[in-house]
């Protein structure tokens, strides 16, 4: 009888450990990406620093530019080239690739117009300039042009990695 009680207790212990492991795995999966929080001004660009206005205006000038991997000119640009030239318009030098920008720029909990939004599955592979009203300007990829996208779309929320930017 004592052996049966020990076997039952051991079985319950194994079941308990299995359930706890499954719960931890599920919780870890839910905690993968931070929430994409934004704080817009009251819609008036005068509420933004001059640096942020220059960054946004330069990104808007790039709308329609063809995507070109490694590019950062009017002939073609990739996502990190777009952000690099946008920040250069405000006299701010930032690293070249989206991963380097994510790793080296000051992170923010809440995105403001002019900040950079980073995306990827695992590592960072895409970046855009947040322009307010849940929109960003980015260079989406081969065969496309620099465009405005709504960040409330499921894809962006699921792949969001963080916000960063050195602009005051």
Share of the chain above pLDDT 70, in %: 77
CA distance 165 to 168: 9
CA distance 51 to 159: 27
Query: So where are the chain's domains?
Result: 1-32, 45-164
CA distance 158 to 56: 24
Radius of gyration of the chain (CA): 22
pLDDT in the model for residue 17: 63
Tell me: the pLDDT tens digits for 24-37?
444 444 446 899 99
Q: Which of 13, 79, 107, 159 is catalytic?
A: 79
Query: How many CA atoms lie within 13 Å of 112's alpha carbon, on the beta-carbon side?
Result: 17
Q: Which of 13, 30, 107, 126 is catalytic?
A: 126
Q: Which of 13, 30, 107, 138 is catalytic?
A: 138
Annotated active-site residue 107? The verdict is no
The rounded mean pLDDT for the chain is 87
In Å, how far from its chain's centre is CA 10? 46
pLDDT in the model for residue 16: 58
- Per DSSP, what are the bridge partners of residue 117? 128, 163
Which one is the CATH code of 45-164: 3.20.20.10, 1.10.760.10, 3.90.76.10, 3.90.1720.10?
3.90.1720.10
Q: Does pTM top 0.85 for this prediction?
A: no
Mean pLDDT, range 82-87, rounded to an integer: 98
Q: Between residues 25 and 108, which one has the greater pLDDT? A: 108
Annotated active-site residue 159? The verdict is no
Annotated active-site residue 13? The verdict is no
Q: What is the torsion angle, in degrees rounded to the nearest 10, for the CA atoms of residue 148, residue 116, residue 80 and residue 150?
A: -20
């Amino acid at each position: 009888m004592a052996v049966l009680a020990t076997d039952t207790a051991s079985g319950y212990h194994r079941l308990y450990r299995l359930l706890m492991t499954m719960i931890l795995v599920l919780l870890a999966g839910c905690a993968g990406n931070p929430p994409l929080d934004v704080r817009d001004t009251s819609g008036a660009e005068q509420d933004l620093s001059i640096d942020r206005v220059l960054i946004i205006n330069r990104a808007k000038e790039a709308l329609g530019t063809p995507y070109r991997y490694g590019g950062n000119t009017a002939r073609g640009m990739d996502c990190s080239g777009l952000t690099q030239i946008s920040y250069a318009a405000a006299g701010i030098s930032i690293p070249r690739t989206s991963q380097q920008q994510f790793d080296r720029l000051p992170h923010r909990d809440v995105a403001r117009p002019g900040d950079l939004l980073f995306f990827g599955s695992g590592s960072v592979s895409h970046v855009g300039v947040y322009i307010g009203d849940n929109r960003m300007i980015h260079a989406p990829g081969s065969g496309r042009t620099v465009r405005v996208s709504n960040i409330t779309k499921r894809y962006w929320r699921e792949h969001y990695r963080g916000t960063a930017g050195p602009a005051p």
